[in-house]
Amino acid sequence: MAEPGATALSATGAAVTVAGLAVLGVVAGSRWQADATRRERAAGLEAAIAAAPAARPAPDYSWERFAPPLVASGEAVVRLQVPAVGLDTVVVEGVGDDELDVAAGHDPRTVYPGVADNSVVSGHRDRQFAALAGIEPGDEVVTVAPYGTWRWTVTGTRIVGKDDPSIIGPSRPSARLTLTTCYPFDWWGRAPDRFVVTAELAPGQLPYGGEAGGP
């Protein structure tokens, strides 16, 4: 006959196992839903890109007419690619938990990529932007949207506090692309800092909204 203490421990262990499996099931279900939403957003973005004339800049995307945001929260804005580190993700409007659980997010306080100012895109360090740990100056970044395609060159990386205002600071009349994620990459829980990647337009690329006009 089993000892009472052993039986209690066995029952406790079984309960913990069941609870753990339940938590894993919830997490897996949440990730599945996020993946499904991301695929839906990506399909919609690709359809919009295919339907748009090549390099068609939309006048309403210029920084002078930017407020309020022109894309609803959670809707796809642009596709972001960094071939050197294997990064290829849809970027949706917004940087709240609901948006970043689905994809990388465009900060609505900044312009859209390609416009003559600083465009900021954020993503989770353990999901969409995990690959940023390997990014280096000189790497190419590509943004593809219904209003045009731009190629960028990474000019540097830096580590700042999570509330550093320089992340969203203006750059006009030059176009800048800023990618940001939590740092350190291996931090458990909410990380205290931000890893920031800065990219400028590649040679021969012109911003939309700058003195030279569209791409």
143 three-class SS: strand
Provide mean pLDDT across the span 36-59.
56
Q: Judge whether 162 and 192 are in contact, CB under 8 Å.
A: yes
Degrees, nearest 5: CA angle 188-193-198 = 125
Nearest residue to 215 via CA among 109, 142, 135, 161? 142
* Residue with the larger pLDDT of the pair 35 and 127: 127
Nearest residue to 112 via CA among 61, 58, 147, 159? 61
d(CA 24, CA 30): 10
d(CA 42, CA 48): 10
Q: Which band of pLDDT confidence, cut at 50, 70 and 90, is reported for residue 173?
A: confident
Q: Which domains does the chain have, with CATH numbers?
A: 1-209 (2.40.260.10)
Q: Which band of pLDDT confidence, cut at 50, 70 and 90, is reported for residue 209?
A: low
Report the catalytic residues.
124, 182
Mean of the per-residue pLDDT values of the chain: 79
What pLDDT is recorded for position 147? Answer: 80
Q: Which residues contact 123 (CB under 8 A, 6 or more apart)?
A: 89, 100, 103, 104, 105, 129, 132, 179, 181
55 alpha carbon, distance to own chain's centre: 23
Please give the structure tokens belonging to residue 136: 């280096």
β-strands 193-201, 148-161: how paired?
antiparallel
Is 148's pLDDT higher than 90?
no
Degrees, nearest 5: CA angle 207-209-213 = 70
Nearest residue to 112 via CA among 149, 162, 161? 149
What pLDDT is recorded for position 68? Answer: 47
What pLDDT is recorded for position 9? Answer: 46
What pLDDT is recorded for position 32? Answer: 53
pLDDT in tens, 86-127: 999 999 999 999 999 989 999 999 989 998 899 999 999 999
Q: What is the DSSP string of 31-83?
A: HHHHHHHHHHHHHHHHHHHHHSPTT---GGGSGGG--S-SS-TTSEEEEEEEG
Exposure class string for 27-41: b at 16+ Cβ within 10 A, else e: eeeeeeebeebbeeb
What pLDDT is recorded for position 141? Answer: 98
Share of the chain above pLDDT 90, in %: 50
Is 18's pLDDT higher than 70?
no
pLDDT in tens, 55-81: 444 445 554 554 446 678 898 889 999
